[in-house]
Amino acid sequence: MTTTDGTDTTRPSPARMYDYFLGGGNNFDIDRQTAERVMAVSAETVAVARSNRRFLIEAVRYAAGRGIRQFLDIGSGLPTAQNVHEVARAVAPEARTLYADNDPSVLPHARALIAGDELTRYIEADARDPEGILTHPETVRLMDFSRPVALLMVAVLHFVRDADDPRGIVAGFMSELPSGSVLILSHVTVDGIDPALWERIQVTNPSMAVPLNFRTGEEIGGFFDGLDLVDPGMVDCRAWAPGGAIAHSADALRTWCGVAVKR
C-alpha cells in the first residue's frame, strides 16, 4: 500500500522503527512488526535507543552552551520529542538546524512537523554523500561555514558498510567545517556484547531491511582521529555527560559515543 504522499507502507523504515523504539507514533504496522522482531532478538534495543537519544540531547545542549549556533544532523530519522532544533533553541533561540536523511518516507512527516520554521530545514540526502549535502541549496541557504557547526552522526554510521568508507565520510564532512566545530557521534559496538546475544544477531542481522555493521571500539574511535575529544571521552551512551562519566550497570549491548572538537 502507498499513502497519498507516496510512502510505501509495506516496507519497514529504520527511521520509523527508531521512532517506535522511542515511543513515537509516526510509524506503520510493518515498522512495528519488524521492530518487535528486533526486540525479540535483543530486548536491550529499546534501552539502547533511548540512552542514545539522551546522549544526543545532552550533546546538543553542550554544543549550544559552548556557543555553536548551527547544527547539521545527518541520518536524522524522524524529528520526535526533544529533537535537535528544539534542544538547541532552548539554549539559543537563533540556532539553525538542517536535518538530512535518505529515507524518502521520512520527508513528508518531517516537513509537516517543521512547517513555517525558517530556522529549520529537512532534506532528502544520503550520509555517504558529504559533498552533496554540504552543497545542497537548503544547506547553503541555512548554514554559514565560516562559523562553527555541530555535525551530528548519531546512530547512523553503523548502517554504512566498510566498503562505503565510513571514516572517509566523517572526514569528508569535518574537512569542510571550520575550527571550533564539533562532531557528535554514536555507534553500536561488539565490545562487551553478550556472547549469546551476538550469536542471535549474527543469524538475524543479514535478513534485516538495513543490516547493522557492528564495529569495535578501536574502529569507532578512529572516527575521532585528528579531533579533540571532550571529557569524558568516548564512553557508553548511558555514561556520557559533559565533564565526566555517569556510573551505569553493564548491559548485554553497548553503544559508544563521544563529542570532539576540531582544532
* pLDDT tens per residue across span 94-132: 999 999 999 887 788 788 878 889 999 999 999 999 999
* Strand pairing class (96-101; 70-74): parallel
C-beta neighbour count of 148 within 10 angstroms: 20
Measured CA to CA, the distance from residue 243 to residue 233 in angstroms comes to: 9
The answer for 111, left when phi > 0, alpha when psi is -120 to 50, beta otherwise, is alpha
Minimal CA–CA distance to 43: which of 192, 196, 189?
A: 196
| Count of domains observed in the chain | 1
- Whether 8 is in a domain gets the answer no
Asked if residue 41 belongs to a domain, the reply is yes
Give residue 206's pLDDT: 85
In a domain, 163, yes or no: yes
Domain-located, residue 6: no
Residue 248, domain member (yes or no): yes
Instruction: Supply the CATH number for residue 42's domain.
Output: 3.40.50.150
Give the residue from 254, 162, 153 showing the smallest Cα distance to 211.
Answer: 162
Q: Is residue 5 part of a domain?
A: no
**163: pLDDT strictly greater than 90:** yes
Q: Give domain status of residue 3, yes or no.
A: no
Please state the pTM of the whole predicted model: 0.87
* pLDDT class of 40 with cuts at 50, 70, 90: low
For 125-134, the pLDDT digits (tens) are 999 999 999 9
Is 111 a member of any domain? yes
- Domain range for 243: 14-261
Identify the CA nearest to 89 among candidates 79, 77, 75, 102.
Answer: 79
150-154 and 182-189 strand pairing? parallel
